[in-house]
Amino acid sequence: MKKIAVIGCGAAGMMAALAAAESSSSVTIFEKNSKPGKKIYITGKGRCNVTNACSVEDFFSYVKRNPRFLYSAIYDFDNTAVMDFFEKNGCHLKTERGDRVFPVSDHSSDIINTLYRAVTKAGVNVLFNTTVYSVESMGGKVSAVVYENDGEPVTREEFDSVIVCTGGVSYPSTGSTGDGYKFAKELGHTVVTPLPSLVPFETKESWCKDLQGLSLRNVGLKLFLEKNDDAQKKTDETKNKKKKSKPVYEGFGEMLFTHFGISGPLVLTASCHYEKNMQGKVFIDLKPALTEEQLDKRVLRDFEEGLNKSFKNILGGLFPSKLIPVMIELSGIDPEKKVNEVTREERSNFVKLIKNLPLTITGTRSFNEAIITRGGVSVKEINPSTMESKLVEGLYFAGEVIDVDTETGGFNLQVAWSTGHLAGVSASAAF
C-alpha cells in the first residue's frame, strides 16, 4: 500500500487526502491548527461560496493567472462533481446570483464537517497541532516529512509521496503562512513572488476617509494602469495621442469607502487586475444607468426645479448625504451659488465628475486583508495532468500554494477541490 503525506487540512488537503485514500493508499494529513478547514470557515462571510455553477468553459475566463494549467484538473473534477459530492454526502446546496453556490444552511461549518467526515470515514489519519518543518528528497525522489506533533520531539517519517496543500499567505491567522513556498524552494522549485489579491485599494485622496462606511450599490468602476517610469510615460503620451488607453478592468456592482481608500466586492474584483509596479487610477461612475447626455438633462431638471436654491441644496436627489460635501468640493462650484447662476460649463464638468469620480491608487492592503494570494509555486515546474513536480518525483502541489488565482464567485475553492482531487488520485496511482 502506498504511503502518502498531505500537508494542510484545508480545502485542497482534505480533497487530496480523500481522493488518495479512496484509491487505496495509506494517507496521513499534517495540520498545524487544532481543527480542519480554518480558512473554509470564514469563506463567503461564513456561508462558504463552495463553487460556481457556470459552464466549465466559462470557468476558465474567471481564472486570472495560468488558466490553461488547470484544464486537466478542472475536467477531472469539475464544479458538477463538487456539487454531487456534497449533495451525496448530505450537505444540500443552493445557487444564488452570479451562479454562486452555497450550502442551503448558509453555514460554512457544514461544508467542513461533510468533508472531514468523508476524510475520516475513508480511513485517513489526521494529525492536528502538527507543524511540518521540511520535506526531504533523495536521488530526485521525495523521501520524508519532518514534523513536530504538539510539543513531542521532532520526528522524521518516510513517505512514498507528499502532497503540499499549505495554501498561500493571506489571512495568515488561519494557518496559511507560506510554508509550502519554503518547502518548494528547498526542493529546487521557483516561487513566483506572492502578492495580495482580491484585496482593498489604498488611495491618495484623503476624502475617502470622510466617507468611511459609505457603501454604494450599482456603481460602475474602471481601472486604468499606466507605466510608472517617466521616460516610458513620454513615449506613452505620444502613443496615447493616437490611441485612447483602455481600462484593464471595467465592472459594475457594490463598493465601500474606508479610512484608507476603497473596498467592497467591485473593488476586490478589480484588484486582481492591478499591477503594483504601475500607476493605478480608478474612475467611479455614480450613475451608470444614464449616459452623460441623459444625466445632464436630469441635473438640468433638478436645477430648474430649484432655481433660487443654492447649489449645495439641490443635490439630495443625486447622492447620499454623506457624499454631497465631497462632490461639491471636487466640482469646484461655490456651494452657496444659486443654481440659476451655475454656468453650462460648470454643469457639464459636474456631470463628467459624476460619471468619472477619479481616485489614485497608491497600493493594496496587506495579506492580512487579502482574500487570496496571487503568485506561488511556478506552474512551469508542475505537470498539469497529475499535479506532480517536474523536478522531484513523488512531490505534488494542490490549491492556493500554486501560482493560479481567480476572481471571486467560488472559483478559488473550485481550484482547491480540483487540484486536490487530481493530486490525490495521481499520487495514489503513481508507482
Rule CB under 6 A: which residues touch ligand FAD? 7-13, 30-33, 38-40, 42-44, 48-49, 131-132, 165-167, 170-171, 174-176, 179, 371-372, 399-400, 410-413, 416
Phi-psi sector, 259: left (phi>0), alpha (psi -120 to 50), beta: alpha
Least distance to ligand FAD from the beta carbon of 426, Å? 17
Least distance to ligand FAD from the beta carbon of 186, Å? 12
Task: Measure the CA angle with vertex 185, ends 374 and 172; round to 5°.
Answer: 45
Query: Is the Cα dihedral 182, 188, 193, 197 positive or negative?
Result: negative
CB 2 within 8 A of CB 431: yes
Query: Which residues, 6+ apart, have CB-to-CB distance to 235 below 8 Å?
Result: none
Task: Measure the CA angle with vertex 302, ends 300 and 307; round to 5°.
Answer: 90
φ and ψ at residue 192, rounded to 5 degrees: -70, 130
- For ligand FAD, give the closer residue by CB, 44 or 251: 44
CB 31 within 8 A of CB 38: no
- For ligand FAD, give the closer residue by CB, 285 or 403: 403
Cell numbers given for 378: 511556478
- For ligand FAD, give the closer residue by CB, 72 or 331: 72
CB 375 within 8 A of CB 192: yes
- For ligand FAD, give the closer residue by CB, 43 or 258: 43
Give 430: exposed, middle or buried? Use CB within 10 Å, 0-12, 13-18, 19+. middle
Least distance to ligand FAD from the beta carbon of 23, Å? 19
Buried residues in 114-126 as b, exposed as e (16+ CB within 10 A): bbbebbeebebeb
- For ligand FAD, give the closer residue by CB, 25 or 176: 176
Least distance to ligand FAD from the beta carbon of 291, Å? 35
- For ligand FAD, give the closer residue by CB, 327 or 415: 415
Least distance to ligand FAD from the beta carbon of 67, Å? 15
d(CA 17, CA 27): 6
Find cell 445632464 and name the residue.
296
- For ligand FAD, give the closer residue by CB, 39 or 281: 39
d(CA 254, CA 216): 6
CB 201 within 8 A of CB 282: yes
- For ligand FAD, give the closer residue by CB, 173 or 385: 173
Least distance to ligand FAD from the beta carbon of 172, Å? 9
- For ligand FAD, give the closer residue by CB, 72 or 373: 373
Buried residues in 130-149 as b, exposed as e (16+ CB within 10 A): bbbeebbbeeeebbbbebbe
Task: Measure the CA angle with vertex 225, ends 220 and 226; round to 5°.
Answer: 145
User: DSSP for 391-424?
Assistant: SSBTEEE-GGGBS-EE-SSSHHHHHHHHHHHHHH
Least distance to ligand FAD from the beta carbon of 85, Å? 15
Least distance to ligand FAD from the beta carbon of 225, Å? 24
Least distance to ligand FAD from the beta carbon of 2, Å? 21
- For ligand FAD, give the closer residue by CB, 342 or 387: 387
Least distance to ligand FAD from the beta carbon of 400, Å? 4
Least distance to ligand FAD from the beta carbon of 123, Å? 20
- For ligand FAD, give the closer residue by CB, 38 or 189: 38
